[in-house]
Amino acid sequence: MINAKQRKHLKSIANTLEPKINVGKNSISDNVIAQIDQILEANEIVKIKVLNNNLDDQDEMVQVLLEKLNAEFISHVGSKITLYRKSDNKLIDLPR
């Protein structure tokens, strides 16, 4: 579990990132989950963009992603969702 200071640090990192995954009308498929999983393993942080043609509830989508990926929620602003998961590579140093 990350604390507020760590979440703030991760938000500042995510601010400069471009979305790596676009979720369209097919919503959260197994392929999308696998891609996000690979990105989280490689980078520890991922920004996801939910396209306008997706009619699913974004809050429910966030819950599904957190559950399936065992990730931490960082932010959900507009159509962008940011997730973090600690990796074996340890690329991001979190403040205590």
Q: How confident is the model at residue 77 (pLDDT cuts 50, 70, 90)?
A: very high
Q: Contact, 58 vs 72, CB < 8 A? A: no
Please report which helix (H) or strand (E) contains residue 60, including its range.
helix 58-69
Residue 55 pLDDT > 90? no
Q: Helix 30-43 and helix 58-69: axis angle, to 10°?
A: 60
Structural domains in the chain, CATH included, are: 4-84 (3.30.110.60)
**What's the pLDDT at 58?**
92
What per-residue confidence (pLDDT) applies to 12?
96
- Reported as a single tens digit per residue, the pLDDT across 15-50 is 999 999 999 998 899 999 999 999 999 999 999 999
